[in-house]
Amino acid sequence: MDKFRIAMTGDFLTPDGTPAYPMADFSALAGDARIERVFLPLDPKSDGSETLSAAQLEGFDAVMMMNFAFGRDSVPKGGRLALVTRFGVGFDSVDLQACRDNAIALVNAPDGVRRPVGVAVIGLMLALTLRLFEKDRLARGGPTGWADSANFMGVGLVGRTLGIVGFGSIGAEVARLARPFGVRIIAHDPIADPAVAARMSVPLVGLEELFRDADFVSVNCPLNDKTRGLVSPKLLGLMKPTAFFINTSRGDVVDQAALIETLVARKIAGAGLDVTSPEPLPAESPLNRLDNVILAPHALCATDQCFADLAAADVNAVLQVLHGHAPRNVVNRDVLENPAWQAKLASLRQRFGT
Protein backbone atom coordinates (compact mmCIF):
# COMPACT_ATOMS: atom_id res chain seq x y z
CA MET A 1 0.00 0.00 0.00
CA ASP A 2 1.27 3.45 -0.96
CA LYS A 3 2.05 5.57 2.08
CA PHE A 4 2.44 9.28 2.72
CA ARG A 5 5.80 9.21 4.51
CA ILE A 6 6.67 11.74 7.23
CA ALA A 7 10.12 12.12 8.81
CA MET A 8 10.01 13.58 12.31
CA THR A 9 13.23 14.76 13.96
CA GLY A 10 14.38 12.70 16.91
CA ASP A 11 14.00 15.54 19.40
CA PHE A 12 10.25 14.90 19.47
CA LEU A 13 11.15 11.81 21.55
CA THR A 14 12.99 11.23 24.81
CA PRO A 15 16.04 8.92 24.80
CA ASP A 16 13.81 6.01 25.82
CA GLY A 17 11.48 6.59 22.86
CA THR A 18 8.51 8.12 24.64
CA PRO A 19 7.02 11.46 23.50
CA ALA A 20 9.15 14.33 24.76
CA TYR A 21 6.12 16.63 24.83
CA PRO A 22 2.92 14.69 25.57
CA MET A 23 0.80 17.82 25.17
CA ALA A 24 1.79 17.89 21.46
CA ASP A 25 -0.90 15.68 19.96
CA PHE A 26 0.15 13.90 16.76
CA SER A 27 -2.48 11.15 17.07
CA ALA A 28 -4.24 12.25 13.88
CA LEU A 29 -1.13 11.18 11.98
CA ALA A 30 -0.54 7.98 13.94
CA GLY A 31 -4.15 6.89 13.42
CA ASP A 32 -4.24 7.35 9.64
CA ALA A 33 -3.52 4.13 7.73
CA ARG A 34 -2.30 6.13 4.73
CA ILE A 35 0.52 7.68 6.78
CA GLU A 36 3.86 6.25 7.81
CA ARG A 37 5.82 8.21 10.40
CA VAL A 38 9.52 7.65 10.96
CA PHE A 39 11.44 9.28 13.80
CA LEU A 40 14.95 10.11 12.65
CA PRO A 41 17.59 8.73 15.03
CA LEU A 42 18.95 11.27 17.49
CA ASP A 43 22.60 11.10 18.43
CA PRO A 44 22.73 10.98 22.26
CA LYS A 45 25.44 13.64 22.14
CA SER A 46 23.38 15.87 19.85
CA ASP A 47 22.06 19.24 20.94
CA GLY A 48 19.45 19.03 18.18
CA SER A 49 20.92 21.86 16.12
CA GLU A 50 22.73 19.95 13.38
CA THR A 51 21.64 19.96 9.75
CA LEU A 52 19.58 17.09 8.40
CA SER A 53 21.17 15.12 5.56
CA ALA A 54 19.66 14.33 2.18
CA ALA A 55 20.15 10.62 2.87
CA GLN A 56 18.01 10.87 6.01
CA LEU A 57 15.14 12.44 4.08
CA GLU A 58 15.20 10.34 0.90
CA GLY A 59 11.81 8.80 0.16
CA PHE A 60 9.77 11.10 2.41
CA ASP A 61 6.90 13.41 1.43
CA ALA A 62 7.20 15.67 4.48
CA VAL A 63 9.58 16.43 7.32
CA MET A 64 8.51 17.83 10.69
CA MET A 65 11.37 19.64 12.43
CA MET A 66 11.85 20.86 15.94
CA ASN A 67 15.41 22.15 16.51
CA PHE A 68 17.29 20.67 13.58
CA ALA A 69 18.34 22.68 10.53
CA PHE A 70 17.44 22.14 6.87
CA GLY A 71 20.06 23.28 4.38
CA ARG A 72 20.84 22.84 0.71
CA ASP A 73 22.54 19.51 1.48
CA SER A 74 19.32 18.35 3.18
CA VAL A 75 17.36 18.19 -0.08
CA PRO A 76 16.90 14.54 -1.13
CA LYS A 77 17.76 13.78 -4.74
CA GLY A 78 14.56 11.86 -5.49
CA GLY A 79 12.46 15.02 -5.68
CA ARG A 80 9.63 13.59 -3.61
CA LEU A 81 9.86 15.90 -0.60
CA ALA A 82 7.05 18.47 -0.71
CA LEU A 83 6.84 19.94 2.77
CA VAL A 84 9.01 21.07 5.68
CA THR A 85 7.22 22.15 8.85
CA ARG A 86 8.81 24.07 11.71
CA PHE A 87 7.62 23.40 15.24
CA GLY A 88 7.66 27.13 15.94
CA VAL A 89 7.71 30.43 14.10
CA GLY A 90 11.41 31.13 13.42
CA PHE A 91 12.78 29.75 10.18
CA ASP A 92 16.38 30.97 10.16
CA SER A 93 17.40 27.29 10.48
CA VAL A 94 15.93 26.57 7.03
CA ASP A 95 17.55 27.42 3.69
CA LEU A 96 14.63 29.14 1.98
CA GLN A 97 16.36 29.34 -1.37
CA ALA A 98 17.03 25.60 -1.33
CA CYS A 99 13.33 25.05 -0.69
CA ARG A 100 12.39 27.38 -3.55
CA ASP A 101 14.79 25.72 -5.94
CA ASN A 102 13.41 22.28 -5.17
CA ALA A 103 9.65 22.98 -4.97
CA ILE A 104 9.44 22.40 -1.22
CA ALA A 105 7.01 24.42 0.86
CA LEU A 106 8.17 25.65 4.26
CA VAL A 107 5.41 26.06 6.85
CA ASN A 108 5.73 27.63 10.30
CA ALA A 109 3.19 28.02 13.09
CA PRO A 110 2.77 31.70 14.02
CA ASP A 111 -0.61 31.18 15.66
CA GLY A 112 0.93 28.80 18.17
CA VAL A 113 3.55 31.21 19.48
CA ARG A 114 1.88 34.62 19.10
CA ARG A 115 0.32 34.75 22.55
CA PRO A 116 3.00 32.75 24.43
CA VAL A 117 5.86 34.93 23.17
CA GLY A 118 3.82 38.06 23.81
CA VAL A 119 3.27 36.90 27.38
CA ALA A 120 7.00 36.19 27.70
CA VAL A 121 7.82 39.78 26.72
CA ILE A 122 5.38 41.15 29.27
CA GLY A 123 6.72 38.73 31.86
CA LEU A 124 10.27 39.98 31.36
CA MET A 125 9.11 43.59 31.44
CA LEU A 126 7.33 43.03 34.75
CA ALA A 127 10.16 41.01 36.28
CA LEU A 128 12.67 43.73 35.39
CA THR A 129 10.60 46.68 36.59
CA LEU A 130 9.43 44.96 39.78
CA ARG A 131 13.02 43.82 40.44
CA LEU A 132 11.46 40.45 41.05
CA PHE A 133 14.60 38.34 41.25
CA GLU A 134 16.39 40.78 43.54
CA LYS A 135 13.41 40.91 45.88
CA ASP A 136 13.16 37.14 45.86
CA ARG A 137 16.75 37.08 47.10
CA LEU A 138 15.98 39.69 49.76
CA ALA A 139 12.98 37.76 51.03
CA ARG A 140 15.11 34.64 51.43
CA GLY A 141 17.66 36.64 53.43
CA GLY A 142 15.53 36.95 56.54
CA PRO A 143 15.25 40.21 58.54
CA THR A 144 18.41 41.68 57.00
CA GLY A 145 17.10 41.22 53.46
CA TRP A 146 13.66 42.56 54.33
CA ALA A 147 15.22 45.62 55.92
CA ASP A 148 17.10 46.35 52.69
CA SER A 149 14.03 46.18 50.44
CA ALA A 150 13.53 49.95 50.39
CA ASN A 151 16.79 50.23 48.44
CA PHE A 152 15.34 48.19 45.58
CA MET A 153 12.59 50.46 44.31
CA GLY A 154 10.73 49.26 41.23
CA VAL A 155 9.65 51.19 38.16
CA GLY A 156 6.02 52.01 37.36
CA LEU A 157 4.64 51.45 33.87
CA VAL A 158 1.95 54.10 33.47
CA GLY A 159 3.01 56.70 30.92
CA ARG A 160 6.26 54.91 30.04
CA THR A 161 7.10 54.17 26.39
CA LEU A 162 7.36 50.66 24.99
CA GLY A 163 9.26 50.47 21.71
CA ILE A 164 8.58 47.36 19.65
CA VAL A 165 11.14 46.40 16.99
CA GLY A 166 9.28 44.21 14.50
CA PHE A 167 5.54 44.80 14.30
CA GLY A 168 4.39 41.54 12.81
CA SER A 169 2.22 38.89 14.42
CA ILE A 170 4.16 38.77 17.72
CA GLY A 171 4.98 42.48 17.90
CA ALA A 172 1.31 43.38 17.50
CA GLU A 173 0.40 40.87 20.22
CA VAL A 174 2.93 42.48 22.57
CA ALA A 175 1.21 45.81 21.92
CA ARG A 176 -2.23 44.36 22.68
CA LEU A 177 -1.05 42.79 25.92
CA ALA A 178 0.88 45.87 27.06
CA ARG A 179 -1.91 48.39 26.47
CA PRO A 180 -3.79 47.76 29.76
CA PHE A 181 -0.65 48.66 31.73
CA GLY A 182 -0.96 52.26 30.58
CA VAL A 183 2.18 52.38 28.48
CA ARG A 184 2.61 54.45 25.34
CA ILE A 185 3.54 52.21 22.41
CA ILE A 186 5.68 52.95 19.38
CA ALA A 187 7.04 50.52 16.81
CA HIS A 188 9.54 50.17 14.01
CA ASP A 189 9.09 47.79 11.10
CA PRO A 190 9.87 48.73 7.49
CA ILE A 191 7.47 46.10 6.15
CA ALA A 192 4.63 46.53 8.66
CA ASP A 193 1.15 47.29 7.36
CA PRO A 194 0.57 50.97 8.27
CA ALA A 195 -3.19 50.35 8.35
CA VAL A 196 -2.79 47.69 11.05
CA ALA A 197 -0.58 49.98 13.12
CA ALA A 198 -3.03 52.86 12.68
CA ARG A 199 -5.97 50.71 13.81
CA MET A 200 -4.00 49.85 16.94
CA SER A 201 -2.96 53.49 17.47
CA VAL A 202 0.71 52.51 17.31
CA PRO A 203 2.92 55.11 15.56
CA LEU A 204 5.56 53.63 13.25
CA VAL A 205 8.82 55.49 13.86
CA GLY A 206 12.44 55.34 12.79
CA LEU A 207 14.74 52.89 14.52
CA GLU A 208 16.95 55.55 16.10
CA GLU A 209 13.91 57.45 17.36
CA LEU A 210 12.56 54.28 18.94
CA PHE A 211 15.79 53.49 20.80
CA ARG A 212 16.12 57.10 21.92
CA ASP A 213 12.55 57.48 23.22
CA ALA A 214 11.66 54.06 24.60
CA ASP A 215 11.75 53.10 28.26
CA PHE A 216 11.49 49.46 27.13
CA VAL A 217 12.82 48.13 23.83
CA SER A 218 11.32 44.78 22.84
CA VAL A 219 12.87 42.99 19.85
CA ASN A 220 10.41 40.80 17.94
CA CYS A 221 11.79 40.54 14.41
CA PRO A 222 12.94 37.42 12.55
CA LEU A 223 16.61 36.74 11.97
CA ASN A 224 17.66 37.22 8.36
CA ASP A 225 20.39 38.97 6.39
CA LYS A 226 18.81 42.37 7.05
CA THR A 227 18.30 41.95 10.78
CA ARG A 228 21.52 40.16 11.75
CA GLY A 229 23.35 42.58 14.07
CA LEU A 230 20.51 45.09 13.72
CA VAL A 231 20.80 46.20 17.35
CA SER A 232 24.15 47.87 16.97
CA PRO A 233 26.46 49.69 19.41
CA LYS A 234 25.11 52.96 18.02
CA LEU A 235 21.49 52.06 18.76
CA LEU A 236 22.31 50.77 22.24
CA GLY A 237 24.16 54.02 22.88
CA LEU A 238 20.96 55.96 22.18
CA MET A 239 19.03 54.28 24.98
CA LYS A 240 18.18 56.08 28.21
CA PRO A 241 20.17 55.03 31.28
CA THR A 242 16.82 54.14 32.86
CA ALA A 243 15.66 51.99 29.93
CA PHE A 244 15.37 48.21 29.69
CA PHE A 245 16.20 45.99 26.72
CA ILE A 246 14.19 42.80 26.03
CA ASN A 247 14.96 40.22 23.34
CA THR A 248 12.78 37.18 22.65
CA SER A 249 13.56 36.88 18.92
CA ARG A 250 17.05 35.60 18.10
CA GLY A 251 20.39 36.31 19.76
CA ASP A 252 22.12 37.22 16.51
CA VAL A 253 19.78 40.17 15.93
CA VAL A 254 21.85 41.91 18.61
CA ASP A 255 25.53 42.84 18.74
CA GLN A 256 25.96 40.87 21.96
CA ALA A 257 29.43 42.19 22.75
CA ALA A 258 28.06 45.73 22.59
CA LEU A 259 25.09 44.78 24.76
CA ILE A 260 27.40 43.26 27.37
CA GLU A 261 29.55 46.38 27.37
CA THR A 262 26.44 48.53 27.78
CA LEU A 263 25.18 46.44 30.71
CA VAL A 264 28.55 46.22 32.44
CA ALA A 265 28.90 50.00 32.26
CA ARG A 266 25.31 50.41 33.57
CA LYS A 267 24.47 52.58 30.59
CA ILE A 268 20.97 51.07 30.63
CA ALA A 269 18.94 49.81 33.57
CA GLY A 270 18.88 46.16 32.58
CA ALA A 271 17.97 43.48 30.09
CA GLY A 272 15.72 40.45 29.78
CA LEU A 273 17.06 37.88 27.32
CA ASP A 274 15.30 34.69 26.32
CA VAL A 275 17.77 34.35 23.45
CA THR A 276 21.54 34.74 23.22
CA SER A 277 24.41 34.03 20.86
CA PRO A 278 25.45 31.29 21.11
CA GLU A 279 22.90 29.07 22.78
CA PRO A 280 23.58 27.87 25.37
CA LEU A 281 25.88 30.57 26.65
CA PRO A 282 29.37 29.40 27.60
CA ALA A 283 29.89 29.33 31.35
CA GLU A 284 32.46 32.14 31.12
CA SER A 285 30.08 34.58 29.40
CA PRO A 286 29.86 37.88 31.32
CA LEU A 287 26.08 37.74 30.94
CA ASN A 288 26.00 34.91 33.46
CA ARG A 289 27.55 37.14 36.12
CA LEU A 290 25.57 40.36 35.63
CA ASP A 291 22.94 41.21 38.21
CA ASN A 292 21.07 43.56 35.85
CA VAL A 293 20.17 40.78 33.41
CA ILE A 294 17.43 38.15 33.49
CA LEU A 295 18.32 35.13 31.36
CA ALA A 296 16.14 32.31 30.06
CA PRO A 297 17.13 29.29 27.91
CA HIS A 298 15.12 30.20 24.79
CA ALA A 299 12.13 28.61 26.47
CA LEU A 300 9.93 31.30 28.02
CA CYS A 301 7.13 30.63 25.55
CA ALA A 302 7.36 26.85 26.05
CA THR A 303 4.03 26.15 27.72
CA ASP A 304 1.61 23.25 27.46
CA GLN A 305 -0.77 25.40 25.41
CA CYS A 306 1.97 26.65 23.10
CA PHE A 307 3.21 23.16 22.27
CA ALA A 308 -0.32 21.85 21.80
CA ASP A 309 -1.07 24.64 19.33
CA LEU A 310 2.21 24.17 17.46
CA ALA A 311 1.48 20.47 17.00
CA ALA A 312 -2.06 21.18 15.82
CA ALA A 313 -0.79 23.65 13.23
CA ASP A 314 1.88 21.28 11.90
CA VAL A 315 -0.52 18.33 11.79
CA ASN A 316 -3.03 20.41 9.86
CA ALA A 317 -0.34 21.44 7.35
CA VAL A 318 0.71 17.84 6.80
CA LEU A 319 -2.88 16.66 6.30
CA GLN A 320 -3.56 19.45 3.81
CA VAL A 321 -0.55 18.43 1.73
CA LEU A 322 -1.51 14.76 2.04
CA HIS A 323 -4.81 15.65 0.37
CA GLY A 324 -3.04 17.66 -2.33
CA HIS A 325 -3.93 21.11 -1.01
CA ALA A 326 -1.72 24.08 -0.18
CA PRO A 327 -1.44 24.49 3.62
CA ARG A 328 -1.75 27.69 5.63
CA ASN A 329 1.26 29.70 6.76
CA VAL A 330 3.55 28.88 3.84
CA VAL A 331 6.64 31.05 4.36
CA ASN A 332 8.02 30.84 0.81
CA ARG A 333 4.71 31.64 -0.85
CA ASP A 334 6.25 31.88 -4.30
CA VAL A 335 6.49 28.08 -4.27
CA LEU A 336 2.71 27.91 -4.58
CA GLU A 337 2.97 29.07 -8.20
CA ASN A 338 5.84 26.73 -9.01
CA PRO A 339 4.72 24.11 -11.59
CA ALA A 340 6.92 21.48 -9.91
CA TRP A 341 5.19 22.11 -6.54
CA GLN A 342 1.77 22.00 -8.19
CA ALA A 343 2.74 18.70 -9.83
CA LYS A 344 3.62 17.29 -6.41
CA LEU A 345 0.19 18.30 -5.09
CA ALA A 346 -1.53 16.78 -8.14
CA SER A 347 0.35 13.53 -7.54
CA LEU A 348 -0.69 13.52 -3.88
CA ARG A 349 -4.33 14.12 -4.82
CA GLN A 350 -4.15 11.19 -7.18
CA ARG A 351 -2.49 8.96 -4.60
CA PHE A 352 -4.61 9.83 -1.57
CA GLY A 353 -7.72 11.64 -2.82
CA THR A 354 -9.20 14.90 -1.57
Active-site residues, by number, are: 250, 279, 298
CB atoms near residue 257 (< 10 Å): 11
Radius of gyration of the chain (CA): 22
- Spatial CB neighbours of 117, under 8 Å, sequence gap ≥ 6: 89, 170, 173, 174, 220, 248, 300, 301
Residue type, 60: F
* Cβ pair 84, 61 in contact under 8 A: no
- Distance, first Cα to last Cα, the chain: 18
Interior CA angle at 281 toward 42 and 128, to 5°?
120
Q: How far apart are CA 350 and CA 324, in angstroms?
A: 8
Cα-based distances in Å from 48 to 33, 151, 309, 314: 29, 44, 21, 19
Dist. CA 256–CA 251, nearest whole Å = 8
Q: Give 240's Cβ-side CA count (13 Å radius).
A: 15
